[in-house]
Structure 1
Amino acid sequence: MGLRRQFRKLFGIKRQTIELQPSGWLAENVFCQSPSTPLSEIVHVFDPKYKDPDPINLVHIVNFFSVDGAMNDVQRATLDSMVTAKSDPLAGEGETTLVQVPVHGDEDLIQAHYGMQVATKLERTVLDVGTFRIPRPLPLLFDVLEKGASVAKPGDFVIYTNADICLQPYFYGAVRQLIAGGFDAITINRRTFGDAHGFSHDPLSMGEVGMQHPGFDCFVFSKEVFDQFVRTDSCLGMSGVIQPMLFNLAAHSKRMLMLKNVSLTFHFGDDRPWKTQDFDDYAMHNFTEAADSLTKLAEDVSKRGHLREFCDNHIGIWKLDDDGLLAPDAAQEVAQAHLANNA
C-alpha cells in the first residue's frame, strides 16, 4: 500500500476525484477557462484596450432560509462574506445591492443592520407544480431570480449564488473587471475548503488552496440578458436545477465566460444532500424542466447553433438535432446518467 493510501486509511480520508470538463471555445459566444489561463490575463486577451471599469452596479441575489427558526452557521458565514466583500477596498466602483428573497415565514430572517434588501416573499414552491414521494417546499429558482432582479435597473448586472457559497473579499472587484472586459454572462465554480463543520474564516481554513469543484453555484449576467430568459419551474436544492440557467446564458449572451480555475468563491466541505435515491423524483422534475427549456430556446434559429455547440462541447449529454429537437427520452437519460455519476 502506497504512503498516500496508508495516510488516507489512517485518518479516514476519502479519495476525492475531480470531474474534468472541456475548456476553450465551447460555442461561438462561450469561452471556458483552462487551468493554464490566468484570470488576470483573460480581459486583456479579449479586450486589448481594456482599462479599469467605469462604475458598474451589481444586484446580488440569494435565498437564505431558516433552519429550526434561525440561520445556520453555513449561511451566516455566507452572509458575513457578502457584507465584507461589499465594503472591501478592492470592490470597485458602483453600487452593490444585496437582496434576500425569502420563503414564507422567513421575511424577518435577515436583520436590517446587514444592509440587505428583503424582496417580497415567494408565493410558490415546487409542491405547487409537482407531486413528490417526500414533500419538501423548495423554492423555484426562476421565482427567486424574478423577485431579486426586480430591483435591478437597465444596465445593472445580476449575481446569483447559492445560500452556502462564501465570497472572497475581492469578489465584487473581480466581477466588475470581467464585466468591463466585455462579458455579459459569467459562471464561477467554487473552491471547497476544509469540511462541512468549518464555517469560519479562521487562518487555517482560509489558508487552504481548496479543491476544484465541478458544480455550478455562482452566476453573473446583465439585466438585459436576464430579461430574455425562458423561465422554468426547476427547484433549488436538488440535482439538475442549474441546467436551464446554463442553456439561457449560452443562448442569450453575446460573450459568456465560464471560470473553472479561480479562487473567487468557496464552500466549507463537499456535502451533497441531494445525492440519494429518496429525491430522484425531484431530479427527474428538474431535468424535465431543463429539457423543455432547451427545446424552447432552440426554437429560435438564430440561437440554435450556439446551443448545439454548447451542448456538444460542454458535457456532451444533451444533444439537439438539426431541427433543434431533443430525443423524447432525453431528460430521463440525462437524469439517470447524472444520478449514476453522483452515486
Structure 2
Amino acid sequence: MINLAHIINPVKTGENSDLFVAQPVTFESMIRARQFSKFTDQINLYTTQFEEDTAIIPTCFTQLSHLERSILAVNTELKGKKLPLIHDILEKAYLETDEQYIIYTNVDIALMPHFYDRVIQLIENGHDAIVINRRRIRPDYKGIENLPEMYGELGRSHPGFDCFVFKRDLFDKFQLGSICIGISFLEVTLLHNLSAFAKKPVFILDEHLTFHLGTDVLVPRKKNPYYHHNRKEYFEKIKPQLASKFELKKFPYGNLPWYERAIKWGLNPSLFTRTYLQLEGKNFFQRVKMLLDEIRWRILQR
C-alpha cells in the first residue's frame, strides 16, 4: 500500500501579497483532492512553519515542528525576507513522518481533484520520483469560492518545476546546501537531485494536475540578492557533488530525438546548455563504445 506525505510551508501574509489569495486556494484544493481520492486514508497533509505563521493553517493539516532557522541566519549579508531552507522543510517530513513517498509543492501551487490518484498511479508504474509542471491560469479569481471555475480553466503550460514527489530514502542522498525557497534555483536544485539519485524518474510536463494563479513565467531576478545566493550555492557547492551521477536519459526530454532534445533543453530556464553538451557527449561516446563492444563480441564468436 502506497502512502503519501504532502508537505508545504505556509506563511502569514498581508493583503498586498499574491499569497493572500493563492495560499487559501492551495489549502482548500489539497483538502478537496484528498477527499476526492479513492486513497484518502493513504494521504496525509503536513506543514512546517515558523512559529508566527501557525494561526493561518487549517485544522485538516498536521503541523510538524517549527522551523528554527532561515536563510538570514545562513547568509548574514542578506536582509529582508525570512525565507526557509528547502533542506529544513524536507528534513521535517523525513524525520517526523513515516509515509513511503514525500510530496513537496510551493504554497501557491493548487491541485486538481485527481492529483493524488494520478501520483499513486505513476508510483505503481515503478517511478521513484515524479516532477509535475503546473498550468497557468488567469490571476483575477477572488478566492476558494472560485475553485470550480479554476478547475475548469485549462490555462497554459509552464516550463518550470514546482511539484516534486520522491521515495523517502532518496532524501538521505540529496545535496541541498543552503538553497532557500521562493526564489529561482530551488526548482533547479530539486530537479537535478532527483535526476542524479532516482532510478526511474518521470517528468509530467503538460498534464492538468496542478495550477497557479497568474500567467507569468519568469519574474525579474538579476538584482535580487536571494537569487544570487541560490545561484552561487547551486553552481559552486551542489552541482559539483551531483555532476558525476547525471545521465541524459534521467532528465526531462531525455527520450526525445537529439535535435528536439537540444532545442527544448536550450529553451528551458531550469536546464543549462553546458550540462546538456557534457551529457550529450557522454551519451555519444557510450553509444560508440556499445557499438565497438558488439563488433568485438561478434568477431570473438566466429
Name the TM-score, length of structure 1 as normaliser: 0.68
Taking the TM superposition and a 5 Å limit, the aligned residue runs for 1:179-328 are 179-200=123-144, 201-271=146-216, 275-279=220-224, 281-291=225-235, 292-298=237-243, 301=244, 303-304=245-246, 306=247, 310=251, 314=265, 315-319=271-275
Structure 1 residue 271, shift from structure 2 partner: 5.0
Paired with 2:114 and 2:249, the residues of 1 have a C-alpha distance of 35
Paired with 2:47 and 2:2, the residues of 1 have a C-alpha distance of 20
Paired with 1:75 and 1:165, the residues of 2 have a C-alpha distance of 8
Residue 85 and residue 310 in structure 1: after superposition, are their counterparts in 2 closer, same or farther (change >3 A)? closer
Tell me the SS of whatever aligns to 1:107.
Answer: helix
Paired with 1:275 and 1:104, the residues of 2 have a C-alpha distance of 30
Residue 91 and residue 217 in structure 1: after superposition, are their counterparts in 2 closer, same or farther (change >3 A)? farther
Cα deviation code 1:127-149 (max 9, x no counterpart): 11114465221111111111123
1:81 to 2, 10, 29: 29
Structure 1 residue 272, shift from structure 2 partner: 6.8
- Asked whether the 8 Å contact 2:25–2:147 carries over to 1, the reply is no
Matched-pair identity in %? 34
Residue 277 and residue 321 in structure 1: after superposition, are their counterparts in 2 closer, same or farther (change >3 A)? closer
Residue 321 and residue 131 in structure 1: after superposition, are their counterparts in 2 closer, same or farther (change >3 A)? farther
Of residues 135-144 and 167-176 in structure 1, the stretch that sits farther from structure 2 once superposed is: 135-144
The structure richer in helix per residue is: 2
Residue 202 and residue 138 in structure 1: after superposition, are their counterparts in 2 closer, same or farther (change >3 A)? closer
Taking the TM superposition and a 5 Å limit, the aligned residue runs for 1:118-197 are 118-132=63-77, 134-153=79-98, 156-197=100-141
Tell me the SS of whatever aligns to 2:55.
Answer: coil
Unmatched 5+ stretches in structure 2? 255-260, 266-270, 279-302
- Asked whether the 8 Å contact 1:188–1:219 carries over to 2, the reply is yes
Structure 1 residue 317, shift from structure 2 partner: 2.9
Residue 92 and residue 249 in structure 1: after superposition, are their counterparts in 2 closer, same or farther (change >3 A)? same
Structure 1 residue 103, shift from structure 2 partner: 1.6
- Asked whether the 8 Å contact 1:186–1:259 carries over to 2, the reply is yes
1:105 to 52, 55, 66: 52
- Asked whether the 8 Å contact 1:196–1:271 carries over to 2, the reply is no
Unmatched 5+ stretches in structure 1? 1-54, 323-343
- Give the letter aligned to residue 84 of structure 1: R
Residue 147 and residue 221 in structure 1: after superposition, are their counterparts in 2 closer, same or farther (change >3 A)? same
- Give the letter aligned to residue 48 of structure 2: V
Name the TM-score, length of structure 2 as normaliser: 0.77
Residue 138 and residue 274 in structure 1: after superposition, are their counterparts in 2 closer, same or farther (change >3 A)? farther
- Give the letter aligned to residue 128 of structure 2: D
Taking the TM superposition and a 5 Å limit, the aligned residue runs for 1:34-53 are none
CA RMSD of aligned residues (A): 2.8
